[in-house]
Amino acid sequence: MNKIFLSQIKKIKKDSIRCSNTKKKSLNESFNIDTENIFFDYSRNIIDSKTVKNLTKLAELIDVKNNFKKLCSGEEVNLSEKRQALHPAMRETFHNLSKDTQNEIKKHKSLLKKISNEVNSGKRKSFTEKKFTDVVSIGTGGSYYGIKMIYESLKNYSAKNINLHFISNLDSTESNDILLNLKQDTTLFIVVSKSFKTVETLENAKIVKKWLLKNSSNKDVMKNFLAVTENHSSAIKFGIKEDCVIKIWDWIGGRYSLWTGVSIGLIIALGFNNFSKFLEGAYKGDKHFFQRKYEKNIPVIMALLSFYYTRFFKAQTHLVLPYNYRLRFLKEHLQQLEMESNGKSVDRNGNELTHISGNIIWGATGNCSQHSFYQLLHQGKTFIPSDFIISSKTDSGSQDNHDKLFSNYLSHIEILNKGFTKEEALDLYEKKFSDLGLNKKLVVKNLQLSGNKPTNAFLLKDMSPETLGVLLSFYEHKTYVLGLLANVNSFDQWAVEIGKIKANDIYKNIKNSKKNNKKSKNSLIKKYLS
């Protein structure tokens, strides 16, 4: 990092000390950002106006917008793999991108529309010439988490005639359980693997193929398959017809691929029009990120606050608390997005990092979590910044329930901010506990909460495809800005590759031990085989 950046870091460090020692003030109403789809309130953070000014100066120093422009123009931003990172182009966010690439993307979208319409209309039939009633997406990592999350979030918009299922785990228990409830002649299987070498995906695809072949010839059953891959030839070798292979490019990484044909199962389930609205929402998020000033830019503020707490408050985790049931799988997607992107030990030039580049992302649905880990959140000594997320509208039909849900959402945000004083604790004791014969001193002490625990409050307009698209694009851009701040490559994942190679070596060791009746030198393998 250059001297100007380091000098700015010193200023922010002083801000963190000053704000930590300042008595609580009334909320700064300027610390909120309103958009058409999302209201973002960050007024309950350990900051003041000076802190925000100094933090946004960092965004200027790392030149966030110009770097994003480079990404959208197709520059090689994934340096270690010598690749572009063009996922925003799928929602038509590009800057001086070649016409050839733009045309490729348009053709890709047209194909997705064609396939989804054919399946939904019954034009594309199974090997028994029946209409598909179920679709199974076989994938893992970026070919699973985001798609599963979107489907569950937008289930209210899904087609009534199509049921979407997922197989991702190498444990064949999952695939066996799902296949038990499916009919061979009305189920479409989608094999999603960029390389068409992903062990989990290929093994599950083999199980499915074997299951289908019980009642039909190879030639017939392959009508029940689609593939989404960069490795066209391997998909065809597996038996999938050439016109059933959807191309994915090397310039879109797994965790950024939910905007592409990787989501074809989702597109079929939701309908192409709803998926288009989802992309339009993400485009709105991109415009906000690129056009808004840093101090009124939601993803930039999200990233700067996260950096602030990691660097100066030694935060190692970040908590995500969606209060909408439909958003219950959001944390899994964000875990992969942020932790795989920025959990690095070296910078973009290969130099060892001297600072933490990424946090542990965790969480659960808010209302249920109030009865599990909120005790630690409120009273524990661990420093945990949090995102609270809820929609203004519900699609459940019970607005009164939703009003109660919102009341719970806001109550904990307020308590985390303000705490619970000794005076308040004494008053509560007298009103609720004085007749129970309890130790007054001990109860009052336990009722006191320190507060000053940082939260970001997201209020979504609704749970529509468009709003979800905006929200996910914001988290993508937050991740990107954090990568720039930490000076890491947010688009590679070499540790994941090492894990795959090591697992293959161990598998060979196991097979060799079984074949030659030899005892492995590894104690765990020895016990596993005993």
The 10s digit of each residue's pLDDT in 329-340 is: 999 999 999 999
318 shares its domain with 349: yes
User: Which tens digit of pLDDT belongs to each residue from 447-502?
Assistant: 999 999 999 999 999 999 999 999 999 999 999 999 999 999 999 999 998 998 99
Written as six digits, the tokens of 76 are 């090689």
| Within a domain: 429 | yes
432 shares its domain with 520: no
User: Which tens digit of pLDDT belongs to each residue from 46-74?
Assistant: 999 999 999 999 999 999 999 999 999 99
| Within a domain: 26 | no
147 shares its domain with 244: yes
| Within a domain: 131 | yes
396 shares its domain with 440: no
264 shares its domain with 299: no
Answer yes or no: are the C-beta atoms of 147 and 137 closer than 8 Å: yes
pLDDT at 403 over 70: yes
* Backbone φ, ψ for residue 343 (5° rounding): -80, 75
| Within a domain: 387 | yes
Residues 6+ apart with CB under 8 A from 318: 306, 309, 338, 359, 360, 361, 362, 384, 385, 386, 387
User: Which tens digit of pLDDT belongs to each residue from 169-198?
Assistant: 999 999 999 999 999 999 999 999 999 999
DSSP label at residue 274: H
From the list 130, 237, 500, 519, the catalytic residue is: 500
213 shares its domain with 315: no
From the list 340, 344, 466, 476, the catalytic residue is: 340
Which has the higher per-residue pLDDT, 26 or 380? 380
Alpha helix (H) residue ranges in 374-493: 374-379, 399-418, 422-428, 440-447, 465-486
Residues 6+ apart with CB under 8 A from 202: 191, 193, 196
Q: Give the whole-number percent of the chain exceeding pLDDT 90.
A: 88
| Within a domain: 341 | yes
Q: CA 303 to CA 62: how far, in whole Å?
A: 13
Q: How many domains are there within the chain?
A: 4
User: Which tens digit of pLDDT belongs to each residue from 101-143?
Assistant: 999 999 999 999 999 999 999 999 999 999 999 999 999 999 9
Tell me what pLDDT residue 217 has.
74
| Within a domain: 43 | yes
315 shares its domain with 166: no
| Within a domain: 152 | yes
Range of the domain at 269: 87-275
119 shares its domain with 154: yes
3-state SS, one letter per residue, for 74-129: CCCCECCCCECCCHHHHHCCCCCCCHHHHHHHHHHHHHHHHHHHHHHHCCCECCCC
Tell me what pLDDT residue 65 has.
95
Distances (CA, A) of 12 to 3, 53, 249, 302: 14, 9, 41, 16
Strand, helix or coil at 266? helix
344 shares its domain with 476: yes
269 shares its domain with 156: yes
| CATH number of the domain residue 258 falls in | 3.40.50.10490
Q: CA 45 to CA 34: how far, in whole Å?
A: 17
Tell me what pLDDT residue 219 has.
75
| Within a domain: 73 | no
Tell me what pLDDT residue 1 has.
61
- Given pLDDT bands bounded at 50, 70 and 90, which one contains residue 80? very high
446 shares its domain with 458: no
340 is an active site residue: yes
User: Which tens digit of pLDDT belongs to each residue from 11-28?
Assistant: 999 999 999 988 766 788
